[in-house]
Structure 1
Amino acid sequence: MTQRPATASTLGTRDRVALVVLLTASFTLAVDFSILNVALPRIGREVGFALADLQWIATAFAVCAAGLTLLFGRCADLYGRRRQFLLGIALLGVASLVGGLADDPGLLLLARVAQGVATAAVTPAALSLLTTSFPEGPLRERALGLNGALMAAGFTTGAVLGGLLTDLVSWRWAFFVNVIVAVAVLAVGPRVLAETRAERRPRLDVPGAVTVTLALTAGVYGLTQAGERSWGDVRSWGALLFAAAMTLVFLATERAVAEPLVPLGVLRRRTTGWGNLAGVVAFATETSVVFLLTIYLQSVRGFTPLQAGLTFAVLGAGTVVGGLVAPRVIGRVGGKRAIVSGLLVQAAATAPLVLLGDAWAWLVVLLAATFVGGVANLVAIVGFMVTATSGLPDGEQGLATGLATMSQQVGITLGTPVMSAIVTASGAATTAQVMHGVSTALAVNAAICAAAAGLVAVAVPGGRVR
Structure 2
Amino acid sequence: MATSAPFLAMTNFSSPMVTLPQIARSLEAGPTGPVWILGSIALGLSSSLLVAGGLADDYGRRMVLVIGSGVLAASSVLAAASPGVVTFVLARLVQGGASAAMLAAGLGIVGHAFPTGAARVRATGRYGAMIGLGTMAGPLLSGLVATAVSWRAVYWLTAAAALALTVVSARALDESRAPAPRRPDLPGVVLLTLGLAALVAGVTEGRLGWSRPVVVWAF
By the TM > 0.5 criterion, same fold? yes
Conserved in 2, the CA contact under 8 Å of 1:222 and 1:237? no
Would you say 1:135 and 2:115 are equivalent positions?
Answer: yes
Bigger Cα Rg: 1
Q: What is the distance in 1 between the residues matched to 2:210 and 2:123?
A: 42
TM-aligned CA distance change 1:43 to 1:121, over 3 Å: same
Would you say 1:123 and 2:103 are equivalent positions?
Answer: yes
Would you say 1:156 and 2:136 are equivalent positions?
Answer: yes
Conserved in 2, the CA contact under 8 Å of 1:66 and 1:217? no
Q: What is the distance in 1 between the residues matched to 2:180 and 2:110?
A: 21
TM-aligned CA distance change 1:200 to 1:192, over 3 Å: same
Residue 42 of structure 1 deviates from its aligned partner by: 1.2
Residue 60 of structure 1 deviates from its aligned partner by: 1.5
Conserved in 1, the CA contact under 8 Å of 2:51 and 2:185? no
Letter in 2 for 1:196: S
Alignment of 1:225-240 (within 5 A): 225=204, 229=207
Residue 218 of structure 1 deviates from its aligned partner by: 5.1
The equivalent residue for 1:171 is: 151
Aligned residue for 1:54, secondary structure, equals helix
The equivalent residue for 1:101 is: 81
Residue 186 of structure 1 deviates from its aligned partner by: 2.0
Alignment of 1:327-338 (within 5 A): none
The TM-score, its normalising length taken from structure 1, stands at 0.43
Among 171, 186, 190, the residue aligned to 1:210:
190
Conserved in 1, the CA contact under 8 Å of 2:68 and 2:98? yes
The equivalent residue for 2:48 is: 68
Letter in 1 for 2:172: V
1:83-116: CA deviations, max 9, x gaps? 1110110000011012112222232222112111
Q: Gapped runs of 5+ residues in structure 2? A: none
Aligned residue for 2:14, secondary structure, equals coil
Q: What is the distance in 2 between the residues matched to 1:138 and 1:44?
A: 47
Conserved in 2, the CA contact under 8 Å of 1:44 and 1:51? no
Q: Gapped runs of 5+ residues in structure 1? A: 1-20, 243-466
Between 98-107 and 201-210, report the one with greater CA deviation: 201-210
Q: What is the distance in 1 between the residues matched to 2:194 and 2:87?
A: 24
Residue 41 of structure 1 deviates from its aligned partner by: 1.4
Residue 123 of structure 1 deviates from its aligned partner by: 1.1
1:17-70: CA deviations, max 9, x gaps? xxxx12222101111222112111111222222243121111221111111111
TM-aligned CA distance change 1:65 to 1:135, over 3 Å: same
TM-aligned CA distance change 1:192 to 1:222, over 3 Å: same
Letter in 2 for 1:25: A
CA RMSD of aligned residues (A): 2.8
Letter in 2 for 1:65: L
TM-aligned CA distance change 1:223 to 1:161, over 3 Å: farther
The equivalent residue for 1:181 is: 161
Q: What is the distance in 2 between the residues matched to 1:55 and 1:157?
A: 21
Letter in 2 for 1:50: G
1:167-221: CA deviations, max 9, x gaps? 22211122112112122212211222111123343433333333344455556x2
Q: What is the distance in 1 between the residues matched to 2:120 and 2:177?
A: 18
TM-aligned CA distance change 1:81 to 1:159, over 3 Å: same
Alignment of 1:28-47 (within 5 A): 28-47=8-27
TM-aligned CA distance change 1:76 to 1:223, over 3 Å: farther
Alignment of 1:18-417 (within 5 A): 21-217=1-197, 221=200, 225=204, 229=207
The TM-score, its normalising length taken from structure 2, stands at 0.86
Q: What is the distance in 2 between the residues matched to 1:207 and 1:35?
A: 32
Identity of aligned residues (%): 33
Q: What is the distance in 1 between the residues matched to 2:43 and 2:49?
A: 10
Q: What is the distance in 1 between the residues matched to 2:193 and 2:24?
A: 30
Letter in 1 for 2:4: T
Letter in 1 for 2:186: V
